[in-house]
Structure formats: structure tokens, C-alpha cells
């Protein structure tokens, strides 16, 4: 049995890994779907039974998916940092 506790500043909830593309598509976020897709494509790329004609397209899609994940992570990090250091100034009624 787990107990409830207060979160620490900056602490994020544990991420439950999404195992399949289908699971990510139905229950996950866009990032979950991208990760599941990346992992699935990587399996196909490493499979020696993958046809050589398919390898180039799969490799390109793998790289594109990795870039999409990196861009999504960068955008989320930027958005998280944008409002973090806001300081309120003293209200000056004469400025109106």
C-alpha cells in the first residue's frame, strides 16, 4: 500500500511506460505515441528479415520520429520555463 505525500518543487509524477503503438494511440499522449512508434520502427530496422527495399524508408521514418520527440520535448521545456521567473512590480496608478 502506498501512502500519500506532498510533492517536492519541480517533481513530476512517475511516467508509466507505454508498451505498444495501439496502447499509446488509445490511452497515451502524442509523445507516448511517438515513442511507441519510434520503438516499433527500431525493432523493424534491426530485424534481419526486414527487406532491404524497406530499410531506407524505415530508417528515415525512425530519424523523423526521433526529431519530432526532441522538438516536442524542447517545446515543453521552453513552455515550462517561460512563466517560471515572473516577478510582480509595484502597482503605479499614475502609469495608467
- pLDDT tens digits, residue range 4-52? 788 788 888 776 676 799 999 998 899 999 999 999 999 999 999 999 9
Q: How many domains does the chain have?
A: 1
Question: What local confidence, expressed as pLDDT, does residue 22 receive?
Answer: 93
Question: What local confidence, expressed as pLDDT, does residue 93 receive?
Answer: 79
Residue 13 falls within a domain, yes or no?
A: no
Residue 63 falls within a domain, yes or no?
A: yes
Q: Are 79 and 96 in contact (CB under 8 A)?
A: no
Question: What local confidence, expressed as pLDDT, does residue 33 receive?
Answer: 94
Residue 59 falls within a domain, yes or no?
A: yes
Residue 48 falls within a domain, yes or no?
A: yes
Question: What local confidence, expressed as pLDDT, does residue 57 receive?
Answer: 97
DSSP element (H, E) containing 69: helix 52-82
Domain range for 62: 21-80
This prediction has a pTM of: 0.66
Residue 15 falls within a domain, yes or no?
A: no
Question: What local confidence, expressed as pLDDT, does residue 67 receive?
Answer: 97
Residue 30 falls within a domain, yes or no?
A: yes
Provide the grid cell at 77. 521545456
Amino acid at each position: 500500500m502506498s501512502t500519500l505525500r506532498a510533492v517536492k518543487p519541480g517533481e513530476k509524477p512517475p511516467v508509466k511506460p507505454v508498451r505498444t503503438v495501439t496502447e499509446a494511440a488509445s490511452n497515451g499522449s502524442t509523445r507516448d505515441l511517438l515513442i511507441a512508434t519510434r520503438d516499433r520502427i527500431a525493432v523493424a530496422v534491426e530485424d534481419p528479415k526486414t527487406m532491404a527495399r524497406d530499410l531506407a524508408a524505415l530508417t528515415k521514418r525512425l530519424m523523423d520520429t526521433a526529431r519530432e520527440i526532441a522538438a516536442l520535448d524542447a517545446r515543453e521545456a521552453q513552455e515550462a520555463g517561460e512563466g517560471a521567473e515572473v516577478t510582480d512590480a509595484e502597482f503605479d496608478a499614475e502609469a495608467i
